[in-house]
Structure 1
């Protein structure tokens, strides 16, 4: 495979994640418009967040094996087609129920092309270390998309344009990516070392693998700490009345910018230190940001929570790449699906739990107390990983 073709595949993956982030992370800006337009409760409107996440989880677990069974290219194309059809569906309907259905279809599509793309990265990288660096670059483009998507929606709303045009833009971008996928050559399919065929049954068997479960649990804890920021931080900072109101207003944007910067810095940082040490240091810094919020309230949160984006940036792509690298390449689609299942499930359940706790005790600060517990568990997990390094032998073998 030529260097040009490899470069094209990498850029295809980068733009895939950029497009996905544009739609997924713009939901927080869209929800207030939905509440006003359709007279919804916050619980009803939150379906815009958890519906696609649930379907990403279902798709990752139940269909992740397709990347290994029929190949990365066909699976990505199927995902792109479903994604673009769902996006264009926003132009022909105008009911909240239809929108939730279309978002569910988008979640199903994302589960397909994301697991195939993650498996593809394993074919494009010669080692676990190279895989981790590439994964951080991919997630860097996701982080940029997470900035661009909300910015586009905000501009549209100011200009009097419907937020639905974001999905039409994403659909058009997806069509172009689909055409590019048709034209580019993919690496030859990995030959299996056994007669076992990729299937949903084989994916379920991975749920018994301690490495798949261990990395999935760590990623779920990380996602629980991250999603608390972009779902609930704006609500928490609404109560801020200090001298840094401008900072509080743009706190979420600052968080996304720092997360993007940190992901592009990851390659440099991982060249200097072991990934185990980097994960421990960053998870400890995240915990301190949450602890400061827990101890000193919103006056500390206005600084600490946006800053946590810089420390969060490298954890997900690094853990994801190491979890996938623990398996043979012909299993990468299946294990990526398992990890994606726990990722999306945590993204759906964690903010819901925070909302329940906050409603019960009467303030969102109690939800962030729960998030502080998530951050503490993540730090303890990375402490265990640093001293015990349970994946060392599996990574060396794979």
Structure 2
């Protein structure tokens, strides 16, 4: 499911390029193809995340996958810009539904909060794989003269298979500690979680992380281009063949390193102090951003994609630890809250960076200065988390109560 979602969401840049030509729309209108699905995910996570706790994981996942499949197959008849954006928005709502169900399910199949974090990194690793193959599929389809809409048809086929698997697989059952609490699961209780310090803290961390991460795949190509008179000279300032190829495929390099890092994260998070790992990795991101800006394009060419390694484990761990601070019957609701802030960061981060860059003459380096600010705030938050360790007692209580593991 995570891979299928990433195949479509992280291909939007390639798709926008085609849609602008086909429908003669402005950059502002074309950007709706990214921002509206993110808004759909955000609102769906916040207002419908409680369904995983109310209806159950299986039912919620199947509902979300069914909506996503309908949206995907409808692209076969999508020949109007408004219709295309509407389908993308519907797919965002669907993702918010099935992803909160899947995130809650991870808690059900985990035997400890540490294993929960390792499993979450594994799930997000497949997201990283989808982020790599999605744009490649779009590029291949266009090269073969096949409409880009068939990417969604392919995703719809995967979605149909996933619905069949979700319907027939046996889901784990758990006995809630307070059964009366489960019966009162509602939208009101879900929204109230926003005020919880654990949910809010990890949600802000997710917002800052995603805002910084989005600078790479949204603005790095603009930062790395040379001052050129024609498209053929876009990367002419990189004299070596290898450097020029890296500039062309810098975003792909970032996604590959992020995916590899997440698979390593499965092993790492099962063995090391998660707070220390996140502190060191967030510090490395700030360092890469800072040195990349100070050294210019030729230094950023290597340091910006390298951040994929350091970014790899941060978001899955935020998701896991944030969810693990709550009892299992609240996992869907809190996953929805974190997902809301995640999607908000993905939508607001690039927009803020773009506005600042435009205000400063259009140079993308100013957007990366904003991203460095986001990364620095994230580092400071993780420094406090490592020193104060505010979740230690709460996680120990959950370990003992929901997983039967002594603190």
Q: TM-score, normalised by structure 1?
A: 0.94
Per-residue Cα deviation, 1:312-335 (whole angstroms, up to 9, x for no partner): 001000111000000000000000
Structure 1 position 22 matched with structure 2 position 7? yes
Listed as ranges, the matches of 1:351-370 within 5 Å are: 351-362=350-361, 363-370=363-370
The residue number in structure 2 matching 1:247 is 246
CA distance in 1, matches of 2:4, 2:65: 11
Counterpart contact for 1:190–1:330, Cα < 8 Å = no
Q: Secondary structure of 2:147's partner?
A: coil
CA distance in 1, matches of 2:270, 2:322: 19
Structure 1 position 68 matched with structure 2 position 53? yes
Q: 1:110 Cα deviation (Å)?
A: 0.3
The residue number in structure 2 matching 1:218 is 205
The residue number in structure 2 matching 1:238 is 225
CA distance in 1, matches of 2:190, 2:54: 12
CA distance in 1, matches of 2:74, 2:331: 32
Q: 1:247 Cα deviation (Å)?
A: 1.2
Q: 1:270 Cα deviation (Å)?
A: 2.4
Q: Secondary structure of 1:191's partner?
A: coil
Q: Secondary structure of 1:88's partner?
A: helix
Q: 1:190 Cα deviation (Å)?
A: 4.1
The residue number in structure 1 matching 2:145 is 160
CA distance in 1, matches of 2:191, 2:209: 23
RMSD: 1.1
Q: 1:192 Cα deviation (Å)?
A: 5.3
CA distance in 1, matches of 2:26, 2:282: 35
Counterpart contact for 2:353–2:370, Cα < 8 Å = yes
The residue number in structure 1 matching 2:194 is 207
For structure 1, which segment, 271-280 or 84-93, has the greater mean C-alpha deviation from structure 2 after superposition? 271-280
Q: 1:391 Cα deviation (Å)?
A: 0.7
Structure 1 position 178 matched with structure 2 position 163? yes
Q: 1:195 Cα deviation (Å)?
A: 2.4
Listed as ranges, the matches of 1:7-156 within 5 Å are: 16-156=1-141
Counterpart contact for 2:115–2:270, Cα < 8 Å = no
Per-residue Cα deviation, 1:10-53 (whole angstroms, up to 9, x for no partner): xxxxxx11111111111111111111111122111111111110
Q: Secondary structure of 2:148's partner?
A: coil
CA distance in 2, matches of 1:189, 1:337: 20
Per-residue Cα deviation, 1:197-252 (whole angstroms, up to 9, x for no partner): 11110011111110100000111111011111111111111225233222101111
For structure 1, which segment, 237-246 or 34-43, has the greater mean C-alpha deviation from structure 2 after superposition? 237-246
For structure 1, list consecutive stretches of 5 or more residues without a partner in the other structure: 1-15
Counterpart contact for 2:32–2:85, Cα < 8 Å = yes
Q: 1:185 Cα deviation (Å)?
A: 1.4
Q: Secondary structure of 2:180's partner?
A: coil
Listed as ranges, the matches of 1:237-276 within 5 Å are: 237-239=224-226, 241-243=237-239, 244-276=243-275
Per-residue Cα deviation, 1:58-106 (whole angstroms, up to 9, x for no partner): 0000000000001010111100110000011111120111011001100
Counterpart contact for 2:65–2:159, Cα < 8 Å = yes
For structure 1, which segment, 268-277 or 166-175, has the greater mean C-alpha deviation from structure 2 after superposition? 268-277
For structure 1, which segment, 40-49 or 335-344, has the greater mean C-alpha deviation from structure 2 after superposition? 40-49
The residue number in structure 2 matching 1:386 is 386
The residue number in structure 1 matching 2:306 is 307
Counterpart contact for 2:176–2:328, Cα < 8 Å = no
CA distance in 2, matches of 1:216, 1:228: 19
The residue number in structure 2 matching 1:4 is none
Q: TM-score, normalised by structure 2?
A: 0.92
CA distance in 2, matches of 1:195, 1:267: 35
The residue number in structure 2 matching 1:298 is 297
CA distance in 2, matches of 1:208, 1:314: 26
Q: 1:268 Cα deviation (Å)?
A: 2.4
CA distance in 2, matches of 1:113, 1:85: 14
For structure 2, list consecutive stretches of 5 or more residues without a partner in the other structure: 227-234, 399-407
Counterpart contact for 2:114–2:270, Cα < 8 Å = no
